[in-house]
Structure 1
């Protein structure tokens, strides 16, 4: 009977640890959603302003007539278009992130709800165990202690694995962006040498690929950040992981303004490569911690088995 209760308790504790982790992720996600909505509102105001500026330059206004007389209207219109496009890209990225986060929050809430009333289940099992353990039973008490320590290690191991998997996906996506930018840089060099319309179009196509891939990168970076925040109290990263949230801004800043200029493609490429170094460094530390945790798990399993063997 006691062994059956131990098994039930271990199972409930595992579920409670998982539920608590889901609740922490939900809380962080709701905070992030609130911040993203505020950011989207500010970006929308900037976007509207840039749109008005563009319309004013393109329209038959007094400002437009002055620019026409000065002969620099085309230059001004192009500048306003670039500024509008930059704000539109930033707004779309945040809007896309909000949509993804809403889906993630919905899934978390459903997961938590589906786990039922675990606290009541835990209390029932504890009360039943107390009845059996009224007599001094050192073996049972020690077994419970080992089992609970093992459950905590298993939960931490799972959190590390999820963080490592999210980081690996960020790296995979960043390599795709890097590949597109490298291709754009190559086409751009040819373009500077007079490659013609087809070369120019090929370069712009690769830049468009890189911009599209950045939405996926930024969403996965946010997920990676949430996973890291969940285990940060156990691992000292010595890195400002909050800066992940602004990575896309730096990327777009380097890419959009005068993006036909080869230097700007190179700047965005450097930004991606620097982020790859940072993420790979964190993944390396996560994997080291995973090794340590798995070693402790194996030691606990051996301790538990040895105790059971000696009690028989």
Structure 2
């Protein structure tokens, strides 16, 4: 009877811990979604404004004619197009982030529905446990149930730590891939600075594209990592971006100054990626230590419970 109740309590307490975890994560996602939606509205307004500027410059008017006569139209139009493309790039990234968050919120709401019945089951088991303690002739029945509940809590903690560690390792892998792409882009960028041509520029931007994808993957992984860390009271942050405007300017308007700006951006992104990698590695070290300590406590708890039963 005690063995059966043990299994039920361990399972149900684990489910109740999930309910708390999912609600905390959902609240955090909803706050993040509100910030992203506000950001999208700002970027949409900025993009439309930049788009209007380009249209105005391309449309025939007295101001357009005067700008052309002054010989500055093409330069001004180029600048406005760069700003429009940069705004469009940022808007696209923000919308992708919103889609990711919407998806995670939907999944969490489904999970919460699935664990809702656990609350009723827990109340039923509590009553059953009280009756068993009253009816039991064993003097240590109450203590045994305390150990059973502690075992359930420790197992749940261990599960949460395992999930956080797995999420952190996903971030590390994405950052490693991004760092490799950025370093390759930087190497080709140096070559491009000192006499490279179209081919070197294209190769550099292939690596920049790969780095952007990996950094976006890292951001998504970091977002999930942050949510897992809410359970273990740790925090991490990642916000790395490569400017679409500078990439566009470098590719289509070749020149030392623009190339230098892109190279500086790559160098900064490499440094920032390394910094984030070190931060994630430090947090993972703490989590792995917590995992080890929790496992030892669980082992000790199970040993005490087992000895109590064996000595009856």
CA apart distance, 1:293:
1.4
The match for 2:29 is 29
2:192, 2:200 within 8 Å by CA — same for their partners in 1?
yes
Q: Secondary structure at the match of 1:133?
A: helix
**What per-residue deviation string (whole Å, max 9, x for no partner) do you get for residues 229-260 of structure 1?**
2321xxxx5x6x4x53xx135x4489658653
The match for 2:146 is 145
| Cα separation, partners in 2 of 1:63 and 1:181, compared to 1, 3 Å | farther
- Aligned length in residues: 301
Q: Which moved more, 1:298-307 or 1:259-268?
A: 259-268
2:240, 2:269 within 8 Å by CA — same for their partners in 1?
no
Q: Which moved more, 1:190-199 or 1:58-67?
A: 58-67
What's the RMSD between the two structures over aligned residues?
2.4
CA apart distance, 1:139:
1.6
**What per-residue deviation string (whole Å, max 9, x for no partner) do you get for residues 4-54 of structure 1?**
233322222222122222222222222222222122112211222222223
For residues 131 and 274 of structure 1, what CA distance do their matches in structure 2 show? Answer: 57
The match for 1:85 is 85
**What per-residue deviation string (whole Å, max 9, x for no partner) do you get for residues 241-284 of structure 1?**
4x53xx135x4489658653222221222222222122222122
| Cα separation, partners in 2 of 1:61 and 1:127, compared to 1, 3 Å | same
The match for 1:103 is 103
2:179, 2:273 within 8 Å by CA — same for their partners in 1?
yes
For residues 212 and 106 of structure 2, what CA distance do their matches in structure 1 show? Answer: 28
The match for 1:310 is 311
CA apart distance, 1:145:
0.8
The match for 1:117 is 117
2:205, 2:247 within 8 Å by CA — same for their partners in 1?
no
1:255, 1:268 within 8 Å by CA — same for their partners in 2?
no
**What per-residue deviation string (whole Å, max 9, x for no partner) do you get for residues 149-204 of structure 1?**
12111111211221121111111111211111111111112222322211111112
**What per-residue deviation string (whole Å, max 9, x for no partner) do you get for residues 77-115 of structure 1?**
333333223322222222112111222222222222223
For residues 82 and 27 of structure 1, what CA distance do their matches in structure 2 show? Answer: 38
| Cα separation, partners in 2 of 1:203 and 1:225, compared to 1, 3 Å | same
Q: Secondary structure at the match of 2:105?
A: helix
Can you give the 5+ residue segments of structure 2 that lack an aligned partner in the other structure?
251-258
The match for 2:160 is 159
For residues 73 and 142 of structure 2, what CA distance do their matches in structure 1 show? Answer: 83
The match for 2:240 is 248
For residues 255 and 288 of structure 1, what CA distance do their matches in structure 2 show? Answer: 43
For residues 209 and 288 of structure 2, what CA distance do their matches in structure 1 show? Answer: 34
2:240, 2:272 within 8 Å by CA — same for their partners in 1?
no
For residues 9 and 68 of structure 1, what CA distance do their matches in structure 2 show? Answer: 80
The match for 2:279 is 278
| Cα separation, partners in 2 of 1:206 and 1:95, compared to 1, 3 Å | same
2:85, 2:244 within 8 Å by CA — same for their partners in 1?
no
2:172, 2:281 within 8 Å by CA — same for their partners in 1?
yes
1:181, 1:210 within 8 Å by CA — same for their partners in 2?
yes
| Cα separation, partners in 2 of 1:196 and 1:2, compared to 1, 3 Å | closer
Q: Could you tell me the TM-score, scaled by structure 2's length?
A: 0.86
Q: Could you tell me the TM-score, scaled by structure 1's length?
A: 0.86
The match for 1:181 is 182
For residues 277 and 198 of structure 1, what CA distance do their matches in structure 2 show? Answer: 34
| Cα separation, partners in 2 of 1:191 and 1:253, compared to 1, 3 Å | closer
Q: Which moved more, 1:49-58 or 1:278-287?
A: 49-58
